[in-house]
Amino acid sequence: MFARLKDIEKRYEALEVKLSDPAVIANYGEYQKYAKEHADFSRIVDSFRLYEKTSVQIAASQELLRDADEELKAMAKEELLELRTRLQELEEKLKVLLLPRDANDDKNVFLEIRAGTGGEEAALFAADLFRMYAMYAEKTGWKVEVVSTSFADAGGFKEVIALVEGKGAYSRLKYESGVHRVQRVPVTEAQGRIHTSAVTVAVLPEAEEVEVTIDPNELRIDVYRSTGHGGQSVNTTDSAVRITHIPTGLVVTCQDEKSQLKNKVKALKVLRARLLDQMKAKQDAAISEARKKQVGTGDRSERIRTYNFPQNRMTDHRIGLTIYNLENILDGELDAIIGGLANHYQTETLKAAAL
């Protein structure tokens, strides 16, 4: 590990030289590339240098233990205890920092929420979940842009797709993919019985054009008039767009914009993200079964969370986390949940790396 850290430090120092080179500064693209690499290494190098400094301090304190002065020896013993604890913490931190980083972590995401089992109640809860994520995004300083909506007759969403733009959006929201179950008494339930419904959430990293190339000849593009609640037409022109990717059978529709061109651009972005997700799924399928058990599969068919309204309880089944404060959670207070999930999967990845 320490040989690798030394190599990273050398590369970091070489990058500092490059970033002060006038020829590199004059080339915006090259400068940005080196600046990003330099920033990626900064936390590792800072922690490694602090680790080395602490090691030197430990050696100095150990020398003081040989001193005849009892007061100095007592101070050295106390300092050694603190320094060794700090050294251990820094070593654990460095192990985490050296873990392979998800290349998608800094990307924007497409958030897709669909009503599942439960009919009208599922559609209403899909709207609740969309509001929850929108409020979380607002608190985090991200921007949310609705790409496509399909409304249910009684309210809520059959489906809603939104683009979430902001630093680290995928790194935080990627844990949300899966089946979200709700248990509550629907407003239409006369006898007060609790119903169980389900909503599926998919979080897809936004794909760059260079990552996924789409051949226009492999697309079938249909246009039609946008519809709103109850199926009534909300546009007098054929502005809605349906794109079918013929090789995979993937279908994307977008009708929220009044411009056919804008709807087409948005639909292509969603299609590109879904194709990237398919590619990632194929790569994940190639990982050994043992590895999957260590770090989790992220399969969207897994029930990941239950929101129980009568008990004011949210339970995340992956990490056994239960919080009795459902109102705050649905108001976008998700840091405790997402932080717990991030720590859990980080720990599992560390275990797998040690195998």
Give me the CATH topology for the region 216-283. Answer: Double Stranded RNA Binding Domain (3.30.160)
State the pLDDT confidence band at 295, using cuts at 50, 70 and 90: very low
Mean of pLDDT over the chain: 85
pLDDT at position 97, please?
79
Looking at this protein, which amino acid is placed at residue 148?
S
Whole-model pTM: value is 0.69
Average pLDDT over residues 147-161: 90
pLDDT above 70 as % of the chain: 88
CB atoms within 10 A of CB 287: 12
- The ranges of the chain annotated as CATH 1.20.58 are 2-97
Question: What is residue 293's DSSP assignment?
Answer: H
Would you say 150 and 126 are in contact if contact means Cβ atoms under 8 Å apart?
A: no
- Tens of pLDDT along 90-118? 988 888 778 777 778 888 999 999 999 88
Distance CA 273, CA 252 (A): 11
Q: Which pLDDT score, from 0 to 100, does residue 229 have? A: 54
The architecture CATH gives domain 2-97: Up-down Bundle (1.20)
Residue 167 has pLDDT above 60, yes or no: yes
pLDDT at residue 296 tops 60: no
CB atoms within 10 A of CB 76: 20
> What is the separation, in whole angstroms, between the first and last Cα of the chain?
15
As a whole-number percent, the residues of the chain with pLDDT over 90 amount to 49
Tell me how far apart the alpha carbons of residues 319 and 234 are, in angstroms, rounded to a whole number.
Answer: 45
Tell me the CATH class for 109-206+290-353: alpha beta
251: β partners:
244
- At 302 the pLDDT is 67
Give the residue range(s) of CATH 3.30.70.1660 domains in the chain.
Answer: 109-206+290-353
- Give CATH 3.30.160.20 domain extents, the chain: 216-283
Count of other CB atoms within 10 angstroms of residue 89: 13
Average the pLDDT over each of 7-11, 27-31, 212-216, 264-268 and give the range with the smallest value.
212-216
Mean pLDDT over 160-173 rounds to 93
